[in-house]
A and B are shown apart, each in its own frame.
Chain A
Amino acid sequence: DAGITQSPRHKVTETGTPVTLRCHQTENHRYMYWYRQDPGHGLRLIHYSYGVKDTDKGEVSDGYSVSRSKTEDFLLTLESATSSQTSVYFCAIRGTGGLYEQYFGPGTRLTVT
Chain B
Amino acid sequence: GDSVTQMEGPVTLSEEAFLTINCTYTATGYPSLFWYVQYPGEGLQLLLKATKADDKGSNKGFEATYRKETTSFHLEKGSVQVSDSAVYFCALHSGAGSYQLTFGKGTKLSVIP
Contacts and interface: CB of A to CB of B under 8 A. Distances in A.
Interface of A: 31, 33, 40-43, 45, 48, 50, 56, 58, 90, 92, 99-107
A100 B93 contact: yes
Nearest to A44: B103
Given A106-B42, A106-B43, A107-B43, A42 B106 contact: yes
B100 interface: yes
Interface in B95-113: 95, 98-101, 103-106
A88 B42 CA distance: 10
Interface of B: 32, 34, 36, 42-46, 49, 51, 89, 93, 95, 98-101, 103-106
B8 to A, nearest CB: 11
Nearest to A95: B46
A44 B51 CA distance: 23
Contacts of A50: 99
Given A99-B32, A100-B32, A101-B34, A42 B103 contact: yes
A101 B44 contact: no
B100 A41 contact: no
Given A40-B105, A100-B32, A100-B98, 13 more contacts: A42-B105, A43-B44, A43-B106, A45-B100, A48-B99, A48-B100, A56-B99, A58-B100, A90-B44, A99-B51, A101-B49, A102-B46, A104-B36
B85 to A, nearest CB: 17
Nearest to A109: B41
